[in-house]
Amino acid sequence: MLDLLGWLIFLVALLVSVMLHETGHFVTAKAFGMKCTRYFIGFGPTLWSTWRGETEYGIKALPFGGFVKIVGMTSIDEVDPEDEPRSFRRAPAWQRLIVLAAGSFMHFVLAAVLIFAVALTIGVQEVQSSNTTQIGTVTPCVPANEQALLNGTSSTTAESPAAKAGLQVGDQVTSFDGVAVSNWTQLDKAILKVKPGTPVSLTVLRDGNSLTLHTALAEVKGHGSFFGIAPATTTVYQGQNPINAIKDVGSGFSQVFTGSVHALGALPAAVPSLFNQDRACTAAGNVSSVVGAARDTGQEVASNQGWQAKVEFVLLLIASLNIFVGVLNLLPLLPMDGGHIAVVIWERIKYWIYRLRGRPDPGLIDYRKLIPLSFGILLLLVVFGTLLIAADIINPVNIG
C-alpha cells in the first residue's frame, strides 16, 4: 500500500507540474490580451468542461498532461478576422517570448519553492558514520578512476567485487581475508592490504547467521584495491536559515542543471544498454522515464527510513524533475517551447537584417516548411520515451 501511495504521490505531483506549466502560458497570454479559448487538463475524450467568458476549462480522460489553446500560435493557424488582432502571432516579439518561456519558468519556480522549503523545514543531511562493520551501501560497479570513486559514479560495466560476492545492505563483516575486524577502520585497512585480483574470503553476519563469501578485489586507477562497500550511517537533519536555504536553491539548481545536460548528452550512448543485464553499470543506469521516477518514489515511501528522509527524497525528486523538464523544454527544437522561441528570435533577426538593407519586413516564418523537422523531432522524442518506459518496466534499476 505504501508503494502504491508513492506512485500516487508522484503522479499527482507530475499532473500539478503540467498544470503549472500550462498556467504559465495561460496567465501571461491573458495578461497581454491574447485570446485563449481552451484550458484543459489531460488528453482524449472530454469528461467535464465549463465556459468562463471566452475560455473553455475542462478535464479530459487521460491525465498525461494538459494544454492551452491560444489563438493564432503559428502563421498557418486559421483565425477568425475579428480575433486576428488578439492572436499570438500579432503580439510583439517580446510578449511572445515571455508567453513561450512562462511554462519553463513555472517549473523553475516550483523547484525553487520545494528546495527552499526542504532546506528551511526538514533541513540538510549530515551523515555520521557509526564506525562499525555493518554495510550501508553495496556499489554495483567498479569506478573508472579515483575521481569517479570520489564522485560516487561509475563508467565501467565491471561488476564490483562486493556485488559478485553477494553482499547485502545490513550485513556485518566479522572477518576479511582471515583477519578479524570489529570496526570500519580495521576493515578498510584489511581491504587496502590485499592486491587487486587476489581471491579473498570474508565472513558476515546476516539475520543472525554467519556466512562465508568469496570474491576477488578489483583495481581503481589512482586508488588501488577496490571492494565496493560503504559503512552504515546515521543521518541528522540540520534546519537552515532563510539565507542558507536560498544558497541551497542555487546549488541545487546548479547540480541538477549540470546533471540534466550530462544526461541528455549521454542519452544516445545509453540506448543500446537499456535492456542489458548490467544496465546499472552503464550510462543507461543514469537515465529514467516517468515510470522509473514513479517506481523510485514508491520504493522510497515504502522503505524503512524515517519520515524526514522520505519527504526529502520525494520533494527533491519532484524539484529535480521540474528543473530537467524546464531545461528540456527550452531546447531550441520544435515542437517544444524552445523551438518556438528560436523561431521568434529568427524572425526578429531577419527583420533587422532586412531593415538594414532597406527592405520591407519579411513577416512571420512559414511553419509549413518546419513541419517535417518538427514531426521528425517529435517522432524521435516519442521513440526515446517509449524505449525508456519499456526499459524501466522490463529492466528497471533499483535505487536501493
44 to each of 41, 50, 65, how far by Cα in Å?
Answer: 10, 17, 10
Distance CA 59, CA 300 (A): 30
Within 10 A of 293 (CB to CB), how many other CB atoms are there?
19
Strand-strand pairing, 199-206 and 209-216: antiparallel
Helix axes 307-329, 93-117, angle to 10 degrees: 170
* CB 285 within 8 Å of CB 292: no
- The C-alpha cell at 23 is 498556467
* CB 161 within 8 Å of CB 141: no
Strand-strand pairing, 224-226 and 218-220: antiparallel
Distance CA 19, CA 17 (A): 5
Within 10 A of 208 (CB to CB), how many other CB atoms are there?
5
List 22, 159, 312, 347, catalytic entry: 22
Which strand (E) or helix (H) includes residue 180?
strand 179-180
Distance CA 167, CA 214 (A): 10
Distance CA 224, CA 193 (A): 9
Strand-strand pairing, 135-138 and 229-231: antiparallel
Known catalytic membership, residue 22 = yes
Distance CA 249, CA 319 (A): 10
Q: What's the length of the chain?
A: 400
Q: Please state whether 222 falls in left (phi above 0), alpha (psi between -120 and 50) or beta.
A: left
Collapsed DSSP state (helix, strand, coil) of residue 238: strand
Give the list of residues 6+ apart from residue 15 with CB closer than 8 angstroms, or none: 41, 63, 66
Spatial CA neighbour of 290 closest among 267, 324, 264, 254: 324
**Positions marked active-site:** 22
